[in-house]
Amino acid sequence: MSNAGNGSRRYAHICGWGTSVPKRILSNSELAQMVDTDDKWIVERTGISQRFIANAEETTATLGADAAREALDIANISPDDLDLIIVATCTPEHHFPSTASIIQDALGARNAGAFDISAACTGFVYALSIASQAIQAATMNTVLVIGAETLSKIVNWDDRGTCVLFGDGAGAFVLQGSYDPGGVRTSVLRSDGSGRDLLKVPAGGSAIPASYDTIRDNLHCIQMNGREVFRFATRVMADACRDVVSAAGLTMEDIDVIVPHQANKRIIEAAARGLRLPIDKFIVNLDRYGNTSAASIPIALCEAVSEGRVRPNDNLVLVAFGGGLTWGASLVTWDVTPQPPLTGLRRFRRQALYRVARMRSAVRRGARAIEGTIWGSQAPDGMEPPRRDRT
């Protein structure tokens, strides 16, 4: 990105993008053998025909890291150049450490900070907003934003009201600072916590810690009031689009493409009607992916770019809603300068870097284990371990 701009204001430009999905596809007809549903109902009520489902080795972090590698290749940026990694997810690898830290280690991004954000299906829009503001404030220059989910691992496979909807996958974007106007122009973020019970995973947090009972009662799985979420979604999608367009000083006529959260085709059609826009301005790929929560917008945008549906200097609105309740939108000008693809030696070097990162991580963990064995019984200077005989 050029730094020879026309002012002192900094802009956050998208310069790389990538996706990753699990190998296994689960079709509607396979689902119909698991719960009381059928292909016709799912297609008519949601628009979904199939979804990708992770196996035991495919996790939120592995999918996120694969998408990130593709995005870094397209941007032609080394993991060492990353200042920050943000992962939007509601299916993190663990409560902590963050999925972002695990991906940072997998990439060998030695100079990057890393954290997850939790805003359910709106997570990617929230993460994009945080990343672009860090770049605009000049505290960061290169930020990796990932939306990654393995919802299949928290779905109640006996609940036909939810299990037909969700799928797994990841999408990643690299953002870089420049003085050239464009890129992520503005975002609006909203929340209404009074709707927190409409879409949630009740147990496993501090309100209802994990117990035998919570596992027996499936309280670690997604619970949703579908009709209420549907009503909320159709209202806020159009509002968020209008708000972000006006915050950017544009009108709806200036918008070329809308990339909505891929939850239900009927919700997207209702938003199109509410905004009086033709449906072909909306990217819809939920028929093949289902609802991948925070991953749905980056996956849909990557696919639209690879299919040529997004053209240079198009104005895009990315708009999402989800648990929280949360909703929001970002306005992005697609002014990407394509980098030459990584070829031959450079691709080989990049692969070698990732192998070195894996080895470095293994060596560090080994060294820590040895250190622990040697120093294990001794407290660090000035810190005395608590004594059991104290009262």
What residues make contact with ligand UT7 under the rule CB under 6 A?
Answer: 37, 41-42, 45-46, 121, 160-161, 164, 199, 224, 226-227, 229-230, 233, 263-264, 291, 293, 322
Nearer to ligand UT7, 121 or 297 (CB): 121
Catalytic status, residue 220: no
Nearer Cβ to ligand UT7 (199/257): 199
Please state the φ and ψ torsions of residue 54, each to the nearest 5 degrees.
Answer: -75, 145
* Minimum separation from the CB atom of position 323 to ligand UT7 (A): 7
3-state secondary structure of 349: helix
Q: Which of 261, 264, 302, 315 is catalytic?
A: 261
DSSP labels, 106-162:
HHT-TT-EEEEE--GGGHHHHHHHHHHHHHHTTS-SEEEEEEEEEGGGS--TT-HHH
CA distances to 73, 115, 128 from 82, rounded to whole Å, are 13, 13, 15
Catalytic residue among 141, 264, 291, 315: 291
The pair of structure tokens assigned to 349 is: 């070097």
Cis ω for the linkage preceding 97 (within 30 of 0):
yes
Question: What CA–CA distance (Å, rounded) separates 298 from 287?
Answer: 16
Q: How far is the CB of 310 from ligand UT7 (least distance, A)?
A: 23
Minimum gap (Å) between residue 312 Cβ and ligand UT7:
31
CB nearer to ligand UT7: give 75 or 263: 263
Least separation in angstroms between CB 24 and ligand UT7: 20
For ligand UT7, the closer CB: 126 or 334: 126
User: Of 100, 49, 57, 109, which is closest to residue 79 (Cα–Cα)?
Assistant: 109
When the beta carbons of 41 and 354 are compared against ligand UT7, the nearer one is 41
Q: Length of the chain in residues, anyone?
A: 391
Instruction: Say whether 121 is catalytic.
Output: yes
8 Å CB contact between 60 and 92 = yes
Q: Residues 339, 251: contact at Cβ < 8 Å?
A: no
Closest chain position to ligand UT7 (CB): 226
Q: Are 289 and 156 in contact (CB under 8 A)?
A: no
Cα–Cα dist 335/319, whole Å: 19
Closest CA to 106 of 62, 49, 45: 62
Least distance between ligand UT7 and beta carbon 318 (Å): 14
Cβ proximity to ligand UT7: between 113 and 195 the closer is: 195
State the catalytic residues: 121, 261, 291
